[in-house]
Structure 1
Amino acid sequence: MNSKTLLSLLKIKTIYGKFPQKVTHITTDSRETNQDAVFVALKGHQVDGFDFIPQAVEAGCRFIVTDRYRPLPEGVGLLIVKDPAKVASLFSGYIFDFPQESQTMIGVTGTNGKTTVATMIHHLSRALGKNSAYLGTNGYIINEDRYDSINTTPETTTLFRRLKEANDRETEVFAMEVSSHALKLGRTFGIDFDIAIFTNLSQDHLDFHNTMDAYGYVKGLLFSQMGQNVRERKYIILNNDDAWSKTYRTMTPHEVITYGMDSTADFWPSDIKGTLEGFNFTLNTPEGEFRVDSPFIGHFNIQNLMCAIIGEWLQGYRFSHIIEAARSMKAVEGRLEVLDPQLPIDMVIDFAHTPDALNKIIDTIEPFVKGRLIFLVGMTGERDMTKAEEMGRISTRADYAVFTPDNPANDDPAILVEALEKGAQHSSYRSFLDREAGIRHAIEYSRPGDTVVLACKGREPYQIMADYVKVPHRDDLIALDAAYRKYRSDEYEEDGD
Structure 2
Amino acid sequence: MTLSLNSAAALLSEHNLLREIIHGDDWYRDAAHLDNADSPFAAITYDTRTIVPGTLLVCKGRFKPEFLDGTEERGLAAYVAETDLSSHTGKPGLIVNDARKALSLLAAAFYDHPERELTVVGITGTKGKTTTAYFTQAILNAYGNGRCALFSSVDNCLDGHTYTESDLTTPESLDAFRMMREAVDNGMTHLVMEVSSQAYKVSRVYGLTFDVAAFLNISPDHISPIEHPTLEDYLYCKRQIIANCRTLVLGSECRHIGLLREDAAAHQVPVSEFSVFDSPVQGERPATCAWPADETHRAYRLQVNGTDLGEFSLDLDGDFNYKNALAAVAIAHAAGVPADAEAMHALTHTKVPGRMMQYRNGRTNTVAIVDYAHNYDSVVKLLDYVAVRYGERNPRITLVAGSAGNKAIDRREGIVKAAQDRISRFVFTAEDTDTEPYEDICRDMAGHVTNTDVAVSTIIDRTQAITSALDEAQADTERTDVVLVIGKGHERWIKDLNKHVPYEGDDCVVERLLQ
Same fold at TM > 0.5: yes
Corresponding residue for 1:216? 235
Corresponding residue for 2:26? none
Residues 292-334 of structure 1 deviation map (CA, whole Å, 9 limit, x = unaligned)? 1221222321111111111221233233324663265322111
Corresponding residue for 2:384? 363
Corresponding residue for 2:207? 190
Residues 177-234 of structure 1 deviation map (CA, whole Å, 9 limit, x = unaligned)? 11111111111012110011112222211111111111111110111223xxxxxxx3
Distance (whole Å) between structure 2 residues aligned to residue 434 and residue 74 of structure 1? 46
| Structure 1 pair 92–342 and aligned structure 2 pair: CA distance change class (3 A) | farther
Task: Select the residue among 179, 182, 186 that pairs with 2:196.
Answer: 179
Matches within 5 A, 1:356-435: 356-369=377-390, 370=393, 371-396=395-420, 397-424=422-449, 425=451, 426-435=453-462
* TM-score normalised by the chain length of structure 2: 0.85
Corresponding residue pairs, total: 471
Q: Confirm whether residue 316 of structure 1 aligns to residue 336 of structure 2.
A: yes
Corresponding residue for 2:153? 137
Corresponding residue for 1:269? 290
| Structure 1 pair 481–214 and aligned structure 2 pair: CA distance change class (3 A) | same
Distance (whole Å) between structure 1 residues aligned to residue 35 and residue 138 of structure 2? 44
Distance (whole Å) between structure 2 residues aligned to residue 63 and residue 127 of structure 1? 45
| Structure 1 pair 66–282 and aligned structure 2 pair: CA distance change class (3 A) | same
* Paired residue secondary structure (2:341): helix
Q: Say whether the 8 Å CA contact 2:425–2:456 is kept in structure 1.
A: yes
- Quote the offset at 1:64 in angstroms: 0.8
Residues 465-486 of structure 1 deviation map (CA, whole Å, 9 limit, x = unaligned)? 2x223211211111222222xx
Corresponding residue for 1:60? 75
Q: Say whether the 8 Å CA contact 1:313–1:322 is kept in structure 2.
A: no
Corresponding residue for 1:248? 260
| Structure 1 pair 53–274 and aligned structure 2 pair: CA distance change class (3 A) | farther
| Structure 1 pair 36–221 and aligned structure 2 pair: CA distance change class (3 A) | same
Q: Say whether the 8 Å CA contact 2:404–2:432 is kept in structure 1.
A: yes
Distance (whole Å) between structure 2 residues aligned to residue 55 and residue 341 of structure 1? 59
Distance (whole Å) between structure 2 residues aligned to residue 160 and residue 459 of structure 1? 26
Corresponding residue for 2:219? 202
- Quote the offset at 1:389 in angstroms: 2.5
Distance (whole Å) between structure 1 residues aligned to residue 71 and residue 223 of structure 2? 34
Corresponding residue for 2:119? 104
Distance (whole Å) between structure 2 residues aligned to residue 27 and residue 421 of structure 1? 43
AA in 2 matched with 1:416: I
Corresponding residue for 1:4? 6
* Paired residue secondary structure (1:123): helix
AA in 1 matched with 2:214: I
- Structure 1 regions of 5+ residues with no counterpart? 227-233, 485-497
AA in 2 matched with 1:468: N
Task: Select the residue among 370, 374, 377 that pairs with 1:353.
Answer: 374
Q: Say whether the 8 Å CA contact 2:398–2:423 is kept in structure 1.
A: yes
Q: Say whether the 8 Å CA contact 1:13–1:80 is kept in structure 2.
A: yes
Residues 358-390 of structure 1 deviation map (CA, whole Å, 9 limit, x = unaligned)? 101111222112433222221221123233223
Task: Select the residue among 40, 62, 68 that pairs with 2:58.
Answer: 40
| Structure 1 pair 179–450 and aligned structure 2 pair: CA distance change class (3 A) | same
Distance (whole Å) between structure 2 residues aligned to residue 126 and residue 417 of structure 1? 42
Q: Say whether the 8 Å CA contact 1:41–1:84 is kept in structure 2.
A: yes
AA in 2 matched with 1:222: I
* TM-score normalised by the chain length of structure 1: 0.88
Distance (whole Å) between structure 1 residues aligned to residue 312 and residue 383 of structure 2? 24
AA in 2 matched with 1:427: V
Corresponding residue for 2:484? 453
- Quote the offset at 1:357 in angstroms: 0.9
Distance (whole Å) between structure 1 residues aligned to residue 88 and residue 228 of structure 2? 40
Q: Say whether the 8 Å CA contact 1:92–1:160 is kept in structure 2.
A: yes
Bigger mean CA offset, 299-308 vs 415-424: 415-424
AA in 2 matched with 1:9: L
AA in 1 matched with 2:350: K
Q: Say whether the 8 Å CA contact 2:329–2:344 is kept in structure 1.
A: no
Distance (whole Å) between structure 2 residues aligned to residue 133 and residue 274 of structure 1? 36
* Paired residue secondary structure (1:191): coil
Distance (whole Å) between structure 2 residues aligned to residue 452 and residue 51 of structure 1? 50
Distance (whole Å) between structure 2 residues aligned to residue 347 and residue 325 of structure 1? 28
